[in-house]
Structure 1
Amino acid sequence: MIAIAISVVAVLAGVIGISVGVAAHRRASRVVRECNELIQGAVGSRGTVDPRALRDVAIVRYDALHEMSGQLSFSLALLNAVGDGVVLSSINGRAETRTYAKSVRACKGVQELSPEEAQAVHSARLGTGLSMIAATA
């Protein structure tokens, strides 16, 4: 009689263990799926991803005026999930510095982008972006 009772309790414990394991697996799968959606920038993941939020950043350094070493000029691209944003460029020379800001819509400059600015936008979208040296340098 005691052996039967122990067997029944063991079976119940096994069923409860399997049920808890299945529930935990389902919950973990849901969390992993939601994390992947957030990482990939899926819009509409329960309102947690704002497509307007800053997401892609890249900086390209170069010697714009060919008079100073150290590549002190730079173009910085700041874009959101849909490729809208701004490119800030600073052209540094011996006597003066000029700074420019150009709007970007869908990864294209509203104004014409310099090669370095276009490279910064491209690098930002690829996620390869910080402290790159311009290919034209």
Structure 2
Amino acid sequence: MRIEFGEASLASFDGTGLDKATLGARTAEFGKALSSAVAAAGYPAEADPAKTNLPALIALLSLLNVFVALASAPLAAWMIELFPTRIRTTALSVPYAVGGWFGGFLPAIAFSAFTATGNIYAGLWYALTVLAVAFLVAALCLHETRGRALDAIA
């Protein structure tokens, strides 16, 4: 396995079967070689806080929070109407928990897809697939509740 950055390339090592002391020594040796190779390629050892545009970063995060709020507010009201009052709490907690599992594993799955294919965008297929399935389920299975008593939904 090789680590490539810019025009530079560094061979990794296989730690399978090495005892703890040897593995620790090889890892430290590899870390030093990697640090010097990254520095030689012109990359900084750490980010420079002076180059961070803090107002733009805060504005961008605030804008993203606005988008989350625009999606979450109607979603909560919509989901409340989907279930009868006797099971509403359980019925609302299950989708949020399942969504947490799908979202929580996103970084691991995206990195695995990148590692398997070498394509940095391969991890996007997981998110797109989950969104497509959710859209199809919503479009085909969810009904309108306007004008019906919410405790009488079957």
TM-score category of the 2 structures, normalised to the smaller one:
under 0.3
| Structure with the higher helix share, 1 or 2 | 2
Rg: which structure is higher? 1
